[in-house]
Structure 1
């Protein structure tokens, strides 16, 4: 007779596990059920149930900029604003949701 369950052992970053389990707990879904659901979606999709790719545009990591680089970025933004190169925030957020599948 075939086993009704199988064990899965995986190494996961502790903070990722904690954050995911907090969300799952709020949803009332045990981690084992979520993993089972994920595996079933892999089977149904015949691959990962989401795209795995690098974003086409990388945001500037301001924490890695020197003061001069930060000032240059701010100047570029100010020049764009003065030239009328602006977009409504809702359009920017819509693009972010689309590009990052949010």
Structure 2
């Protein structure tokens, strides 16, 4: 089978980080690129989803009655013990 060259420009830090991972996996850059191309063929497109981030919801996205319902459900869940204190929540965030 005839081989072809692929030349790309990429951020040096991304290249080094990716190649370090590939080395740990025992894969060369050429094999990784070949695998990527094969996955493109297999999926008839990119082997992962490309998405635009959707903006976070705002209170203006809801009617007053919808907002009241959402807040009421939150209060009900908290009263039923299905919530966490702010202290617990922020402790979890700091662990990540």
- 1:49-83 per-residue CA deviation (whole Å, 9 max, x = no partner) reads 0001133467xxxxxxxxxxxxxxxxxxxxxxxxx
- Given the two structures, how large is their TM-score scaled by the length of structure 2? 0.56
- Aligned CA distance change for structure 1 residues 86 and 54 (closer, same or farther; 3 Å): farther
Offset at residue 45 of structure 1 (A) = 0.2
Deviating beyond 3 angstroms after TM superposition, the runs of 4 or more aligned structure 1 residues are 55-58, 84-89
Number of equivalences:
64
- Given the two structures, how large is their TM-score scaled by the length of structure 1? 0.53
- Which one has the largest radius of gyration? 2
CA RMSD of aligned residues (A): 3.0
Q: Which runs of 5+ in 1 are unaligned?
A: 59-83, 93-102
Taking CA–CA contacts closer than 8 Å with sequence separation of 6 or more, which of the two structures ends up with the larger relative contact order? 1
What residue is the counterpart of 1:51 in the other structure?
49
* Whole-angstrom CA distance in 1 between matches of 2:55 and 2:37: 30
